[in-house]
Amino acid sequence: MQDMQPEQAQDTEARIRQQIEENPVLLYMKGSPKLPSCGFSAQASQALMACGKPFAYVDILQNPDIRAELPRIANWPTFPQLWVKGELIGGCDIILEMFQQNELQPLIEEAAPAVDDEPSAE
Which tens digits make up the pLDDT trace of 41-72?
A: 999 999 999 999 999 999 999 999 999 999 99
What are the binding residues?
30, 38, 67, 79, 92-93
Binding site residues for glutathione, as ranges? 30, 67, 79, 92-93
List binding-site positions for [2Fe-2S] cluster.
Answer: 38
Residue ranges per structural domain of the chain: 29-111
- Please report, for residues 7, 34, 40, 79, 93, the alpha-carbon distance to residue 31 in angstroms, rounded to integers and kept in the order given: 27, 8, 11, 11, 18
The pTM score is 0.87
> Which CATH fold topology does 29-111 show?
Glutaredoxin (3.40.30)
Let me know how long the chain is.
Answer: 122
The confidence band for 114, taking pLDDT boundaries of 50, 70 and 90, is low
